[in-house]
Chains A and B, each alone.
Chain A
Amino acid sequence: MSTTGPVKVTVCPRGPLLVRGAQVVVDDDGHEHPVRRPVVAVCACGKSQRLPWCDGTHKVIPR
């Protein structure tokens, strides 16, 4: 999708970052991951098995 508005990031407590309006998310290694959804959940716990995207793993990590 193409958007021209600003990128908006919403922090979900003990959860991922919801990102709206981005075209690409760049990971630690510099790899570019194209955004293919109207809103994406970017992993914030670092434990996801499909980084940079959230896969719900944060829910099974002891707080």
Chain B
Amino acid sequence: MQKQSIRMFLNNTYAAYTVAGIFLLFSVLLGTSIGTVYVPITTIIKIMEAKFLGFTTERIDPMFTNIVLDIRLPRVILSGLVGAALAIAGAAFQGLLKNPLADPYTLGVSSGASVGAVFTLYFQISIPFVGSFTLPVVSILFSLMTIFSVLTFARKIERSMRVETIILTGIIFSSFLGAFISLLIALTGDELRQIISWLLGSVSMRGWAYIKIILPFFIFGSVILIMNAKELNVMSFGEERAQHLGVNVQKRKLIILISGSILTGAAVAVSGTIGFVGLVIPHFARLLWGTNHRHLLPLSIFIGGGFLIIADLISRTIISPTEIPIGVITALIGAPVFAIILLKRKKVERSG
């Protein structure tokens, strides 16, 4: 079996981290270098040296410096952070709900966050003392409300909360919330294209300001999730068994759901809804290394970040100069993967 051999090769934790790390670095360099103007990688390294280490060996074309530092790098970092946040949130949701099809998008959390974001933008709300963080904070609150509604509703349908039930509920909520967004868009009347493009997800022209918005939430959510990796391992065997094994299920579940929603909400606030990252990346990381969340979560960060940088790169270069929304690229990759996982699951169920 091919899968087995990949696993064998990467069974070493260091090897898995090395592969994931190289992938991320490679994506960052590629993402910074390629575009309407090609910036050689050596130049990029020199610019970085100049900017962050403070020494210059030779004169660099200021145009390159501008492109790299003001346009490409923030864009790459932002997409990396969004990808990482969505991937780790997806991995956590999947482990918690012992559901390989769960991700912020399929659970409807992304839609919830979008409603929050659109709501904020439409009414031009600004919460006192929060200031520029109003957008992510409202998005996070909406994601939290959505995830709890989805889970409560799914539990009402079926106590055992089968995989398919949760996903179906998530999709119902997604459609419902999507209608709300459409309504708000219809009410705005003008600037339609811009909002739709935001909805489909985009990391373009956001600049360093947006990085500052997502970064604290990203660090906070990720650290908490990684600290709960062991509990996630136990809970992926079911809540009841987790309690038998000594996990305070109610408390941990709440912590994990809140962290996941913080990550999702923050990511959606800066980039709109980008689907399937949280679904595909954890699945891929699991293939690479296994299911142990202690390493699955950090690996998802690396791979998720790299993946979204590449996806963004494709979206802006493939039919350049027109940019395709990044959500289109991730959906094109993600939806078939979703289908494959679903098929495989059914096969396991039938044979098992």
Tell me whether A and B are bound partners.
Answer: no
Chain B residues within CB distance 8 Å of chain A: none
Chain A residues within CB distance 8 Å of chain B: none
